Structure 1
Amino acid sequence: MVTAVLCVLALAGCGSRVTGTAKALQITDVEHTLVTSYFTALNEAGTQGVTQQRELLADTQHPDFREGDCELPDGTIRVQPTMSTLRLDPDWTPPGQDEHPRGVVVVVAVTLTVVQDGIEIGSQIGSQHLVLLNGKTYGFAPCAT
């Protein structure tokens, strides 16, 4: 009888289920604020001039992907994110790379406008990936195509 009780207890331990509901990872207010602050700083730097914006882009380039700098278009960029589209993108890797960047990858729809001498010369709608790492938002500088 003792053996039977031990067997039942052993089987119960192996087959027990964890109660609760699985929840998908979600964007919190912290991530939302980090992303919003990134775009605010980027656009403010653009109003200060080309040099200031390029310095900010260099400072916020993901630390693992800094050697891949590219030439920015002449002028500055203004980026308007659609924050309601902000979501996690854990499987994303930068184009041409095999490894996932360190940190939490998020993606958001943006309207990117190139401004030269105060005149909008082009606008494009797309997705922008950012990485949240150690309380800071990092990006991947846009390249002229």
Structure 2
Amino acid sequence: MAERIAVLLTALVLLTGCGGPVAGTARPVQLTEDGRAKFKDYYARLNKAGEESASKQADLLKQTQHPDFRKKTCDLRGATITVDPTWGTLRADADWAPPGEKVHPRGDVYVVAVTITLRQQDQTIGSQIGSMHVVLLDDEVYGFAPCLGG
């Protein structure tokens, strides 16, 4: 069990480009209210799906996976994640590419500081503070499934 927990916590670190401190100075992004609402809706849907079931969250992660990286997914082994963004840190990150990739995703890439909590059934397994990348492409928000690059 301890080995499984370690693997899942490692997945948190790799989650959607999640990592250590974000280089640079955090400056709020000048998005329209509609743009900000799309990001907030993305995370709200992700969290709601996780509250419903691991399979619903896995399905949503597949549906919202960035089109350029649809084949790069992983299995959270029945675990779910809850993502709590710190909206004041949302900023553009035009030079970012997913871990292990040389290609910059199409669309406008943003990064936001988050607290991610990993749950297995009704038990919290761990929590990680890091950053997550999301992309606004063709007026839709896309993310990167857990373990991308892992």
* 1:134 CA drift (Å): 1.1
* TM-score (norm. length: structure 2): 0.76
Q: Which runs of 5+ in 2 are unaligned?
A: 1-28
| Alpha-carbon displacement from aligned partner over 1:36-92 (angstroms, at most 9, x marks no partner) | 000000000011101100000000000010111122253111000001110111111
Q: Which runs of 5+ in 1 are unaligned?
A: 1-24
Q: 1:111 aligned to 110, 115, 130, which one?
A: 115
- Matched-pair contact (CA < 8 Å) for 1:60–1:139: yes
| 1:84 correspondence with 2:88 | yes
**Counterpart of 2:138 in structure 1: which amino acid?**
N
| Pairwise CA RMSD | 1.6
- Structure-1 separation of matches of 2:86 and 2:71: 29
Relative contact order, higher structure (CA 8 A, sep 6+): 2
Identity %: 51
Give SS of 1:97's match. Answer: coil
| 1:27 correspondence with 2:31 | yes
Alignment correspondent of 2:76: 72
* TM-score (norm. length: structure 1): 0.78
Alignment correspondent of 2:142: 138
User: Does the C-alpha gap of structure 1 residues 109 and 136 become closer, same or farther in structure 2, counting only changes over 3 Å?
Assistant: same
- Structure-2 separation of matches of 1:31 and 1:93: 22
Count of residue pairs brought into register by the alignment = 121
**Counterpart of 2:68 in structure 1: which amino acid?**
D
Give SS of 2:129's match. Answer: strand
- Structure-1 separation of matches of 2:49 and 2:78: 15
Q: 1:121 aligned to 121, 125, 138, which one?
A: 125
**Counterpart of 1:119 in structure 2: which amino acid?**
Q
- Matched-pair contact (CA < 8 Å) for 2:72–2:145: no
* 1:142 CA drift (Å): 1.2
Structure number with larger C-alpha Rg: 1
Tell which deviates more after alignment, 113-122 or 51-60: 113-122
Give SS of 1:90's match. Answer: coil
